[in-house]
Structure 1
Amino acid sequence: MEQAVSAADANRKFSTILRGVREGNSYVVTSHGRPVARIIPAYREDETASGARAALLARLERQDIVQAGRWTRDELYDGR
């Protein structure tokens, strides 16, 4: 389970947070109540990335193929 911690508290209590991470805890750092970062044990990073990749690939497999046609370079980089 992740614990929420404000950016100010994370700054003040960084060594305590690192100790918690070594014990397997995870933290979500918030700024003005909005999540901005996640502090997780290093060994979980690969698990998180591979899980996100698997979820994305599964979602793409379920979606219908859309024929979008060909785009010109100007259309791709129009900025709209």
Structure 2
Amino acid sequence: MSNEDFNVLIPQPAVLRRYGITDMTLWRWRRRKDLAFPVPLEIGKRNYFYSADLAEFEARRPRKPVAPAVTIPEPEDA
């Protein structure tokens, strides 16, 4: 990724889709000091986030282990 890619402004709706969250969840994330979610740049009452800030947040973000798939046994023939 080039340095220019890190200066891209991403609009808030794209950030919501990126993380699969709602406006309310983003509002909560921004208020949690322990998460240190990036501060948006407000332009014309719309929020934009620097892609470099989001990449840094993602690098710090702990990953939850993925649970193993549950297999459902086939019913036994009676």
TM superposition score category, shorter chain reference: under 0.3
With normalisation by structure 2, the TM-score equals: 0.25
Could you say which structure has the greater relative contact order, defined with CA pairs below 8 angstroms and 6 or more residues apart? 2
Higher helix share: 1
With normalisation by structure 1, the TM-score equals: 0.24
Q: Please say which structure displays the higher CA radius of gyration.
A: 1
Higher strand share: 1
